[in-house]
Structure 1
């Protein structure tokens, strides 16, 4: 919650500003970028259908769009912004201030959340970041005059900014052993094209859960929906039911497997991560019945090395209470043991 609404959304804005404070990349270039990404990566899953089933396999290089024709190409500065928006926030030394891959390849049409159509606009990402930085990051010390340029992109600033609010506003503790013992069942889901909350956070949490709790798959499943934007929308099927499967799991002991998503004039099955859907070669590619479950021989490993990776732990949570108009945290939170990791 804290990293999402500070460095993540602030970077969406700051990475796209020049020395004069003007935007470098405008939304009219997003279809061009999206078309190029699909041309490079749509067929990686064996089917050219406008969806990238695992964008982490896509290694698109925005510099391939650089040329002298602004109508059909990007400028070097625009290409650099695209790379920054994809990769995510870093400091001047390359330390990652959020998990690697802030916005997945294939989600470019959804970037209007933070890429404006014209100069002078205030994008949603700026409002998200300023609301949090002014009134929630330091709950007992509101800063109504705070500006995005006040946010320092350093490791020291990272911990000062995300603590103490991470200690009570972030649900990152992967130790769900008590939940498991109680008979609880959990379905996590995320859209690969989510333009607001990076899918990487959910993937990292799920990996941490599986490392922390033995046999985590017996009570927790993760579903990743290709083409799905933030909660709804996007180019992929975006309507599905996860409530019935989790009810059947709790009440009847039936583990969830295939969930069918509908929309965009097609249906598509989604299987528990890391299993993916593969076309069986028969019938329409818009019909979920023509897809089978496939476990990748070499699953992509999520890159979890970033400054705040130790936030996915049980070390620092605190319980808040109000006293004399102030928020008191017990115990007093301190950053979990952390080491900065430099990216190459």
Structure 2
């Protein structure tokens, strides 16, 4: 082709509506030879059925089975090996390739400590979102297990498995998925995105910070980006609550009863009374969350419970009063089940079911502490002596880099969405990191946006407008040059209403008109 005809041809290819693929092309991928990778499945799904995400409580994915168009399902394992603990390890993945591909690739983040391969459908990872999943939009979507086969933290006994979970499985899976994608469509993706919530949100930030050449769009929802410190904070919370946990008839302390639902409702109402109207409208939503000056004493909980509440919301500290993990914003979501399920649980036995314990304790002992100490008694955790034992893992695991110029320079677009009432990963910590990143990355406002969701707990839920669509915002940012300044949101907690989520530092302010419509609010 003559040089002057190359550009029009390329533009025509980019403008093409989709790249088509067939069942025959799909099944041929079973024989694909990719370094250190075994393809275990390559099957054509004519009816487009996608099973439910059984780990949706951790990933923010779809809890129900879904229907997509016809597509290819490829599964495999990268780097199969035997660990130092004698167990089998390797990064298992699932890749779904639509019959009509739109030229985009999405890496779907995991959740918890991974150890499972969720259906690669690319749902917006906020469980309350009704946005169309990426696969149904025509994306090729991949998911993976983080390099170990079970959703338990005992993989921390193997040094290589630690590295895979921290970041390496992202790179391995991306390379294999893009190779398979090219073999299917004979084209590289026009855009490569990563989207996840919780640990999947951390993985999204890792993708932008450590694999900036592979991704040009990232959506991190409620990301556990400082996961090693949050693990220590979980223990701090439990220590505080156990100080006031009442005993049952057998003399056993019951964590879930440290603060009753009546207590939490009192706090939520008191926070609303103090801060609701600061955004110009008393409507059950604290949009002016940064200026909320709530005092816990006003909730009427009594001296002991108030002291514990202040200690928890003040954040984990060592004996010198130095901050180990960020404090938290007071917000309405403290009365939501999503808050209780992490901090306190509901168990009426001596065996707590709070996720801070059921997920947090094992992760701390097996993975975050170096070396692993499986028999460690977290009730005796010393915040001076034991906190430094998490630093080594933090260095490989935490997505705390604040110079993101490598991601920005090649057109990267970065969106964070975090619930103000997230009980496990502090919105205050996220806010502070974002501010630092803006200072350390020149022109940060050109490529990054953060949306804070008042009332929302972890990956959706709470008294919140938690039904929104950051994926379409990312698409419009790349395709139309429209940087998202607001996301229109709805929520089951507020039927018949809509509200804008504003790009930080702006917040939604009521300016007149129908109070139930997002158009009546301005981002200021």
Q: TM-score range by the shorter chain?
A: 0.7 to 0.9
Aligned position for 2:237: 12
2:517 counterpart of 1:287? yes
Summarize the Cα distance change of 1:165–1:13 in structure 2 as closer, same or farther, 3 Å threshold: same
Aligned position for 2:283: 49
1:278 aligns with one of 509, 514, 519: 509
What are the residue-to-residue correspondences of 1:209-224 with 2, within 5 Å? Answer: 209-224=437-452
The DSSP-based 3-state class of the residue aligned with 2:483 is coil
The DSSP-based 3-state class of the residue aligned with 2:392 is coil
What are the residue-to-residue correspondences of 1:186-335 with 2, within 5 Å? Answer: 186-263=414-491, 264-265=494-495, 266-283=497-514, 285-294=515-524
- The answer as to whether partners of 1:92 and 1:153 remain within 8 angstroms in 2 is yes
Matches of 2:454 and 2:259, distance apart in 1: 26
1:126 aligns with one of 357, 370, 392: 357
2:259 counterpart of 1:25? yes
The DSSP-based 3-state class of the residue aligned with 2:490 is strand
Matches of 1:119 and 1:180, distance apart in 2: 51
Runs of 4+ in 1 over 6 A off after TM superposition: none
- The answer as to whether partners of 2:228 and 2:393 remain within 8 angstroms in 1 is no
Shift of 1:106: 2.4
- The answer as to whether partners of 1:11 and 1:89 remain within 8 angstroms in 2 is yes
- The answer as to whether partners of 2:317 and 2:383 remain within 8 angstroms in 1 is yes
Aligned position for 1:147: 377
Matches of 2:309 and 2:369, distance apart in 1: 31
Summarize the Cα distance change of 1:187–1:274 in structure 2 as closer, same or farther, 3 Å threshold: same
Matches of 2:238 and 2:262, distance apart in 1: 17
Shift of 1:121: 4.5
Aligned position for 1:115: 344
Matches of 1:92 and 1:279, distance apart in 2: 44
Write the deviation string for residues 130-153 of structure 1: whole angstroms up to 9, x where unpaired.
Answer: 1222110235x3322122223212
Shift of 1:114: 1.3
The DSSP-based 3-state class of the residue aligned with 2:498 is strand
The DSSP-based 3-state class of the residue aligned with 1:3 is helix
Aligned position for 1:106: 332
Matches of 2:345 and 2:360, distance apart in 1: 16
- The answer as to whether partners of 1:194 and 1:229 remain within 8 angstroms in 2 is yes
The DSSP-based 3-state class of the residue aligned with 1:196 is coil
2:292 counterpart of 1:58? yes
Q: Aligned pair count?
A: 282
Aligned position for 1:82: 309
Where do 5+ consecutive residues of structure 2 fail to align?
Answer: 1-225
Summarize the Cα distance change of 1:63–1:119 in structure 2 as closer, same or farther, 3 Å threshold: farther
- The answer as to whether partners of 1:126 and 1:148 remain within 8 angstroms in 2 is no
Shift of 1:107: 2.4
Matches of 1:65 and 1:100, distance apart in 2: 19
Aligned position for 1:337: none
Shift of 1:5: 4.0
Matches of 1:7 and 1:198, distance apart in 2: 13
Which structure has the highest strand share of the two?
Answer: 2
Aligned position for 1:165: 393
Write the deviation string for residues 82-135 of structure 1: whole angstroms up to 9, x where unpaired.
Answer: 11222111223321111132x533221133121244463412111232122211
Query: What RMSD, in angstroms, separates the aligned Cα atoms of the two structures?
Result: 2.0
TM-score by length of 1: 0.76
Matches of 2:476 and 2:361, distance apart in 1: 42
Q: Which gives a bigger RCO, structure 1 or 2 (Cα 8 Å, sep 6+)?
A: 1
Matches of 1:252 and 1:65, distance apart in 2: 48
TM-score by length of 2: 0.51
Which structure has the highest helix share of the two?
Answer: 2
Summarize the Cα distance change of 1:226–1:151 in structure 2 as closer, same or farther, 3 Å threshold: same
Summarize the Cα distance change of 1:27–1:161 in structure 2 as closer, same or farther, 3 Å threshold: farther
Matches of 1:203 and 1:185, distance apart in 2: 18
